[in-house]
Amino acid sequence: MDLSEISVFCPATIANISCGFDVLGVALDTIGDKMVVRKTKGQGIRITKLEGQDLPMETQLNVAGVAGLALLAKSSYTGGFEIEMFKKIKAGSGIGSSAASSAGAVWAMNELLGRPFTKLQLVTFAMEGERLASGVAHADNVAPALYGGFTLVRSYEPLDIVEVHCPPELYATVIHPQIEVKTSDSRKILKTNITLKDGIKQWGNVGGLIAGLFLEDYPLIGRCLEDHIVEPIRSMLIPGFDRVKSEALKAGALGCGISGSGPSIFAFSKGGVAAGKVALAMKEVYGNIGIDYDVHISKVNVDGVRPLSE
C-alpha cells in the first residue's frame, strides 16, 4: 500500500534513569504528541501547523524539521514532506518534548517511504533534532521513542543501541512542576570530571539496573536507581526535589530521580496501585509548596512511535 499521509503518536520519554546519564531511556505510554506527516511533490520540509506550544515553525529552527532534513539528505526520495504537530509535551519539561518531535518525524517519513531505513539509522537522524535543542546530539530520549521500552546506548562512536527487557508490572509516575529548565542550561552546570569512587558506584548501579530489568527483580531495580554524579547538582535547580523524592519512597516507590534534565521528577513502582499512591504523595509536596504541577502515571510503552487510527 502506497501511503501518502500518516498520523502518529510520539511518546514522552524518561532519560538518564538516575544512574544512566546520556545512555539509558524509557518510553511512556499515556503521555505524548500527535503528528501528521504527508508527502508533497515539492522538495524539502514544511511545518504547516503547530499547536499546543510556542515553538518555531521554520524548518531549520524546529527539531522535527532538522531531523527530517537529515533523513532526506540520505534518501533517494525526490519529493518533500509537510508536517502538522500537536504538542502535548511541554518544552523544557524533562520528558523528551524535542525527542518526541524528532523521532515522530523521521519514523513517519520512513513509513511513507516504505521503510528504507533501520531504527538505528532513524536514531541518527533524530539525534540531529536533539543537537538543535540542547547543543548535544544525545540519543537517550530518541532511542526509546523509536525502539520502545527501555534502551541502552552502549556506544556513540559507533552508535550501538541495545533493547532492554521491561518487567510487565513496572509503572512510572512523573510529576512536572510548572517551571522550565532548559536542557542546554542544565548541561552547563555539570562537572566534566568525576572521582573514581563515584564512577565505580555509578557503573555498579547501571549494571545492576540492567540485570534487574531482565530478571524482573523489582527490589534490585529500586536499589540501583541512585545517581552519585548528576542528580546532586541538577536537583538544586528543582524546588522541592528532595522532599518529593523522600515522600515518593515513603509511599512505596522503588526509586525516584530527575527525568532527563528536569524539572520533571520520575518514580518507578511495581503496579498501578502503587504508582497512584506515589502520585498522591508527590502532589501533596507541590501543593504545600504552592507550585502548579502536572502528574502522569504510565506503563512502559513497548512500541515507541506508533500509527494512530483516525
Q: What is the CATH number of the domain that holds 113?
A: 3.30.230.10
> Quick one: 223 and 105 in the same domain?
no
| Alpha helices per DSSP H over the chain | 63-73, 97-112, 119-134, 142-147, 183-188, 196-215, 218-224, 231-234, 241-250, 272-289
Q: Do 150 and 193 belong to one domain?
A: no
Name the domain boundary from 165, 189, 217: 165
Q: Are residues 146 and 217 in the same domain?
A: no
Residues with a known catalytic role: 130, 183
* Same-domain status, 155 and 186: no
Residue at grid coordinates 503547530: 50
Domain membership flag for residue 79: yes
Residue 184 three-state SS: helix
Distance CA 70, CA 182 (A): 24
Helix (H) or strand (E) holding 153: strand 150-156
38: domain range? 5-165
Cis previous bond, 168, omega within 30: no
Assign 91 a pLDDT band (cuts: 50, 70, 90): confident
Residues 157 and 179 in one domain: no
Residue 186 pLDDT > 80 = no
Domain boundary residue, one of 165, 191, 208: 165
* pTM for this model (two decimals): 0.94
Helix (H, G, I), strand (E, B) or coil at 177: strand
Final residue of a structural domain among 138, 165, 192: 165
Q: Are 104 and 305 in contact (CB under 8 A)?
A: yes
- pLDDT tens-digit map of 217-272: 999 999 999 998 999 888 888 999 999 999 999 999 999 999 998 999 999 999 99
Same domain, 199 and 288: yes
DSSP letter (8 states) at residue 119? H
CA 273 from chain center: how many Å?
24
Element (H, E) at 265: strand 265-270
Q: Are residues 125 and 197 in the same domain?
A: no
What is the Cα–Cα distance from 26 to 18, expressed in whole angstroms? 12
Write out pLDDT tens, residues 149-182.
Answer: 999 999 999 999 999 999 999 999 999 998 866 6
Check whether residue 21 and residue 55 sit in a common domain. Answer: yes
Instruction: Please indicate, yes or no, whether residues 262 and 144 belong to a single structural domain of this protein.
Output: no
